[in-house]
Chains A and B, each alone.
Chain A
Amino acid sequence: MISFDKVTKRFGSNLALSEVSIDCEAGTVHAITGENGAGKSTLMNLLAGVFSADGGEIRLRGEPISPERPADARRLGISTIFQELTLLPNLTIAENLFLGREPLRLGMVDRASMRRQAGSMIARLGSSLDVDAYCGDLSVADQHLVEIARGVSVDADVFIFDEPTAALNAPEVEKLGELLAALRASGKLVFYVSHRLDEIFRFCDRVSILKDGKHVETRPTQALTRDELVSLMVGRVLSKFFPPRPARPDGAPVALSVSGMRVREDSPQVSFELRSGEIVGLAGLEGQGQRNIIRALSGLEPVVGGKVTKGSETGPMPLGPDVVATARAGVGFVPEDRKTEGLYLPLSIDENITLGMLRRLPIWQLVKRRRDVIEELMGRLNVRSAGARQAVGELSGGNQQKVMIGRWLASGIDVLLLEEPTRGVDVGAKAEIYGLLREFANAGGAVLTVSSELLELLGLCDRILVVRRNEIVAELDGARAAEEEVMRYALMGRAEAGVHANA
């Protein structure tokens, strides 16, 4: 039905997909899996018309296709249930389900038939949602359900489910399984993007594994065990550009202590300590709660219960859900999206750094640009620019990130929280950023980072905490941990991974 033939896609200098060739047959549920950033979603987005391929060919029943927009893909008979929600909050469920293909009667939207059909579409998924409810009033899980109902109601031959179960509960996942079986029985091709092993084995006939944008294997799921599948997903080579890890003294003071914190009402408690001089990474598959933990610590997101305290010379001090107070206490936060949440793009490098240094001063303080400090810092950070007065928005991603980190270093913090420390950063600058972080830790600072690139965490961190479903399921020594071990905990959780480790 669909063949990918040497499909290649780049984003800037980053090769997201490299000559991927997969053949997929009608009447099958075909899983696409791999680690974070392996290229699963990119491959599907090419088919869905979100991106266009840079090389190779996608064929539908032997005919080459190149959908430029989601609407093109839909016309070709390819329906996509996107991972992110595309429902309109101010439309009802029925209206959302039929948006773009509203039934008409006498030139007007035929609400009666729309509501009737919507009702049966929702019922098919085993739900009893009111089709007149506004989607903005629904829970996230219910919104996903509506999204799925819309996707499968399209008259298409190929269906793409991109991580559909991320927000669903067990009974809904069950219904989804029935739906997939029905689609298979009627001769459709279903792509199922997921890294949930149990669902891959339960729902899917075949599985294609991607790794670093390359196609590793496609096999019938029956011919695979869970262990084999995990082994196929991991096994990349660790690059050599990580700074050496110094031996950690045992009695280093606690820099940040988290006890009994919960990110959501129903999530398990999280407790850990961050000590001076160490770099700790939170690992896990995307959307498992690592991000919420670090955002909660930075004061950006509220937490449910628990206590966060920061160690200092004068004794522990409690931190609350308040970004300003947290920064004042000496905890810096580098967000994933530095362009909108971190830097002041139109301002120059020295202004950006100066803004960090002003942190503890009253607002009427005269702004002095400490040229000497800034020059020294820029030299240490190795920021490549046309000078300190250049606007930060004109710098490359790597240099922007260095300025972002530099701003915190200049402000004299002792705990640094980072999300995706090297996203959108080229390889050379990555090594420099790792060096900076290690230097900061060696000088007595403490670093906690979240990254979707497991290899980065393995290379950089002293300790790795594996997060799964908002819970820390394992604590591993960064120097000794293997990729496969981390993935096992991330994919299977504590109990099952433990069993396999003992076997």
Chain B
Amino acid sequence: MLDLARGSRRTGLSPIVLVLPVALFVLLYLSSGTFRSLENLANVNSQVAALMIASLGQGIVAISGGIDLSVGSVMSLTSAILVTADPAWGVPIALAMGAAVGLVNGFGVTLFKVHPLVMTLATMTFVQGVALLLHPVPGGEVPGYLRALAVSQVAGVPAAFFWCGAAILLAWHLLGRSRFGLRTYAVGANPVSAGRNGIAVTRLKVACFVLCSLSAVVAGIFLTARVGAGDATMGAPYSLDTVTAMALGGIQLAGGSGSVLGIVAGVLTLGLISNGMNLMGVSPFLRAAVTGALLLVAIGLQRREAIGA
């Protein structure tokens, strides 16, 4: 018998993870004329893109057995940097900042053995503070070339589509086909055993956090460019939204399981819920309550079979 809820040992994918976004899409497609319009679909795509890019990074950390709450703050600081720094230097500075935050998170978790939740909570708070100091009031000018990269269309296909596609391909290559990916799954399942098999556990975990912060920077760049102004709090919801997307995508925070397909499904589920309720004119407060309830139902249906320790 096909067990709807049982996730695969490695990918965490269960039928429910994949069915949920498809079902939501069909439901919205049939019930709302506005949803069906190309304009709205492009809108969903660009709303979802930042969350997609950040969640792929979060997913890598989650598979390695960690969690990164600083994702949102890094996005916010990226936004602040882009509108205050010299236009030519904004992107490199933001990337360097992301790498630095990732290194601090990674070394804190590995060398100083701080729990990832506490470690990234600390950097989250710190980085948020720096972002607000740098750019207290929303506004400012986004470099023109970034704006163009985020909002233009190629043959009718919005740029957001390409941002998402590139991020998904890169993550799929890293997790699914590279040496790094295989070792990340191994470390997430059991770091001691992985170490005995000759894997440099510390280095790998640090790399995961750096990749996650870098993906947050890219998500921040996209979001800032799309909005067209800097905002030192724009990333705030993303810290936990990425974790919600993980859970909806069948990834367990114990580590060792998860897949790019699952992350994509989780992000789409979350994005479709917001968009759909937005179109139906549901109050944002009720929207939050519904999202929470849906999350509980989704993970309640998944078999809790932790791999990591």
Residues of A within 8 A of B (CB): 69-71, 74, 82, 85-91, 95, 99-102, 104, 107-109, 134, 136-137
Contacts of B228-268 to chain A: CB distance below 8 A: 256-257
* Bitwise interface map of B from 195 to 207 toward A, beta carbon under 8 Å scored 1, else 0: 1111100000000
The answer to whether residues A87 and B177 also contact, given A74-B198, A99-B183, A102-B182 and a CB cut-off of 8 A, is: no
The answer to whether residues A100 and B199 also contact, given A134-B10, A136-B9 and a CB cut-off of 8 A, is: yes
Q: Provide the bound-state CA to CA distance between A100 and B181, in Å.
A: 12
User: Is B307 in contact with A99, judged by CB distance below 8 angstroms?
Assistant: no
Q: Is B193 an interface residue when CB atoms closer than 8 A count as contact?
A: yes
User: Is A91 in contact with B196, judged by CB distance below 8 angstroms?
Assistant: no
Report B187 CB to chain A, min CB distance, Å. Answer: 9
Q: Which of A69, A88, A89, A109 contacts B178 (CB 8 A)?
A: A109
Can you identify 27 A-B contacts, CB atoms within 8 angstroms? A69-B195, A82-B196, A86-B196, A87-B193, A88-B185, A88-B186, A88-B193, A89-B9, A89-B189, A89-B190, A90-B186, A90-B188, A90-B256, A90-B307, A91-B10, A91-B185, A99-B197, A100-B197, A100-B198, A100-B199, A101-B198, A102-B182, A109-B181, A134-B9, A136-B9, A136-B307, A137-B9
Report A121 CB to chain B, min CB distance, Å. Answer: 15
Chain B residues whose CB sits within 8 angstroms of the CB of A87 once the complex forms: 193
Chain B, residue nearest A71 (CB): B198
Chain A residues whose CB sits within 8 angstroms of the CB of B177 once the complex forms: 108-109
Q: Is B194 an interface residue when CB atoms closer than 8 A count as contact?
A: yes
Q: Is B179 an interface residue when CB atoms closer than 8 A count as contact?
A: yes
Report A256 CB to chain B, min CB distance, Å. Answer: 35
Chain A, residue nearest B194 (CB): A88
Q: Provide the bound-state CA to CA distance between A495 and B181, in Å.
A: 54
Rank and list the top 6 A-B pairs by shortest CB-CB distance, nearest first: A100-B198, A86-B193, A100-B197, A71-B198, A108-B177, A90-B256
Q: Provide the bound-state CA to CA distance between A109 and B174, in Å.
A: 10
Q: Provide the bound-state CA to CA distance between A219 and B181, in Å.
A: 49
The answer to whether residues A70 and B198 also contact, given A90-B256, A90-B307 and a CB cut-off of 8 A, is: yes
Chain B residues whose CB sits within 8 angstroms of the CB of A71 once the complex forms: 198
Residues of B within 8 A of A (CB): 9-10, 173, 177-179, 181-183, 185-186, 188-190, 192-199, 256-257, 307
The answer to whether residues A109 and B182 also contact, given A90-B307, A99-B194 and a CB cut-off of 8 A, is: yes
User: Is A90 in contact with B9, judged by CB distance below 8 angstroms?
Assistant: yes
Q: Which of A82, A86, A90 contacts B10 (CB 8 A)?
A: A90
Q: Which of A69, A88, A100, A134 contacts B190 (CB 8 A)?
A: A88
Question: Main SS of the interface on chain B?
Answer: helix
The answer to whether residues A88 and B189 also contact, given A108-B178, A136-B307, A137-B9 and a CB cut-off of 8 A, is: yes
Chain B residues whose CB sits within 8 angstroms of the CB of A86 once the complex forms: 192-193, 196-197
Q: Which of A69, A89, A95 contacts B307 (CB 8 A)?
A: A89
User: Is B182 in contact with A90, judged by CB distance below 8 angstroms?
Assistant: no
Q: Provide the bound-state CA to CA distance between A89 and B9, in Å.
A: 8
Chain B residues whose CB sits within 8 angstroms of the CB of A107 once the complex forms: 178
Report B210 CB to chain A, min CB distance, Å. Answer: 19
Q: Provide the bound-state CA to CA distance between A101 and B197, in Å.
A: 9
Most buried by A among B177, B185, B198, B257: B198
Besides A99-B198, A108-B173, A109-B177, 8 other CB < 8 A contacts? Answer: A70-B196, A88-B194, A89-B9, A89-B256, A90-B9, A100-B198, A136-B9, A137-B9
Q: Provide the bound-state CA to CA distance between A71 and B203, in Å.
A: 15
Chain A residues whose CB sits within 8 angstroms of the CB of B181 once the complex forms: 109
Most buried by A among B10, B173, B192: B10
Q: Provide the bound-state CA to CA distance between A109 and B181, in Å.
A: 9
Chain B residues whose CB sits within 8 angstroms of the CB of A70 once the complex forms: 195-196, 198
Most buried by A among B9, B199, B257, B307: B9
Q: Provide the bound-state CA to CA distance between A109 and B185, in Å.
A: 14
Chain A residues whose CB sits within 8 angstroms of the CB of B190 once the complex forms: 88-89
Q: Provide the bound-state CA to CA distance between A70 and B193, in Å.
A: 11
User: Is A99 in contact with B9, judged by CB distance below 8 angstroms?
Assistant: no
User: Is B189 in contact with A90, judged by CB distance below 8 angstroms?
Assistant: yes
Chain A residues whose CB sits within 8 angstroms of the CB of B179 once the complex forms: 102, 104, 109
Report B88 CB to chain A, min CB distance, Å. Answer: 32
Report A146 CB to chain B, min CB distance, Å. Answer: 12
Chain B residues whose CB sits within 8 angstroms of the CB of A90 once the complex forms: 9-10, 185-186, 188-189, 256-257, 307
Chain B residues whose CB sits within 8 angstroms of the CB of A102 once the complex forms: 179, 182
Chain A residues whose CB sits within 8 angstroms of the CB of B185 once the complex forms: 88, 90-91
User: Is B186 in contact with A91, judged by CB distance below 8 angstroms?
Assistant: yes
Report A340 CB to chain B, min CB distance, Å. Answer: 13
Q: Provide the bound-state CA to CA distance between A86 and B186, in Å.
A: 11
Report A101 CB to chain B, min CB distance, Å. Answer: 7
Most buried by A among B181, B182, B194, B195: B182
Report B289 CB to chain A, min CB distance, Å. Answer: 34
Chain A, residue nearest B198 (CB): A100
